[in-house]
Amino acid sequence: MKDFVKYIKMMRYALQFKMIIILSALFFVFGIIFEIAGMGATDSSYSLPALYLALTGMYFYQMVFSCTVSKMVQASPMKKKLQVTGPILITFISSLIVFAVYVALRLIKITPEFLYDNNITYPRAYSTIPFMAVWLFIFFVYMAFSYRSFILSMVFIFLTIIGILGFSFKTEIFIRMSENLIGADNSPLMIIIVSLAIIIAGAVIGYILSLLLYKKPISEMAVRYALRQAQNK
C-alpha cells in the first residue's frame, strides 16, 4: 500500500504531466459522452467510446514510467519497482475503473427498446464489452515494449489494429464470443467475467514482459520523443 501511494505521488513529476492529465480526462469524458449519445457503431462490435475509455488507463502507465528516466531514479534501489510494478499496477487499477464505468453505461443503455430501434440482438449489443477488454489486453502488452523498443512497439500496435479491426471495422469474433457466453434471460454476467479475465491476463503478461525486458536499456527514441514533446508544451 505504501508503494502504491508512492507511485501516485510520483506521477506529478512525470514528463508532460499536465498534458497527459488533460488528454486522459478528455478521452474519459468523450468516451462517456459518445456512449450516452449513441455514437458507437451498432452493427458491429467496434465501439469508439470503449476505445476512448480504454486509452484513458494507458496514460497512467506513461506518467509513472516517465518519472524513472532521471539519473536519480536510475541509481535508486526502487528503480525496478518503479519501472516494472508501478506502471502496471497503476494502469491495471485505472483500467478496471474505466471498464466498470463502461460496463455500467452499457448495461443501462441495452434495453428491449434500444435493441428494437437499432435492429440488433443482445449478444451483438454486449459484444462491445469484450471488444474493450481485448484492447486493454493489447495496450498492456504494447506499453511493456514501448519504453524498451519504441519501433517494435509501434509495429506491434499497427499490426494489431489492422488485424483486429481490419478495414471494415467488422469485428464478428466478439459477437460470436458473446453469443457463446450469454446466459439465461440474456444475462451478460459470463461476458463480463470473461472480459475481466482478459484484462487480468493482459496485466499479468504485461508485467512478465516488463520483467523480461527490465535489463534492456530504455529506448533513446522513446525518451527523446517524450522530452521533445515536453519542451514543446
List pLDDT tens digits, range 40-51: 555 666 788 998
In this predicted structure, the answer to whether residue 156 has a pLDDT above a threshold of 80 is: no
**For residue 93, what is its C-alpha cell?**
487499477
- The pLDDT, as a whole number, for residue 63 is 78
* Separation between Cα atoms, residue 20 and residue 22, nearest integer Å: 5
- The pLDDT, as a whole number, for residue 74 is 57
* Separation between Cα atoms, residue 30 and residue 33, nearest integer Å: 5
Q: How sure is the predictor about 115, in pLDDT bands with cuts at 50, 70 and 90?
A: confident
**CB neighbourhood size of 129 (10 A):** 26
SS3 state at 38: coil
- The pLDDT, as a whole number, for residue 152 is 74
* Separation between Cα atoms, residue 108 and residue 125, nearest integer Å: 12
In this predicted structure, the answer to whether residue 228 has a pLDDT above a threshold of 50 is: no
> Are the C-beta atoms of 171 and 44 separated by less than 8 Å?
yes
Q: What percent of the chain has pLDDT over 90?
A: 31
108, 106, 125: which is closest to 42 by C-alpha? 125
In this predicted structure, the answer to whether residue 189 has a pLDDT above a threshold of 90 is: yes
> Are the C-beta atoms of 229 and 165 separated by less than 8 Å?
no
What does DSSP assign to residue 81?
Answer: I
Q: At what angle do helices 48-66 and 86-109 cross, to 10 degrees?
A: 160
Q: At what angle do helices 189-212 and 172-181 cross, to 10 degrees?
A: 120
- The pLDDT, as a whole number, for residue 198 is 96
Mean pLDDT, the chain, whole residue set: 80
Handedness of CA 167, 173, 176, 182 (dihedral sign): negative
Q: What is the pLDDT of residues 60-81, one digit of tens each?
A: 887 777 776 655 555 566 667 7
In this predicted structure, the answer to whether residue 230 has a pLDDT above a threshold of 50 is: no
pTM for the full predicted model: 0.83
Burial bucket for residue 128 (CB in 10 Å: 0-12, 13-18, 19+): buried
In this predicted structure, the answer to whether residue 99 has a pLDDT above a threshold of 90 is: yes
In this predicted structure, the answer to whether residue 144 has a pLDDT above a threshold of 90 is: no
In this predicted structure, the answer to whether residue 233 has a pLDDT above a threshold of 60 is: no
In this predicted structure, the answer to whether residue 33 has a pLDDT above a threshold of 90 is: yes
SS3 state at 197: helix
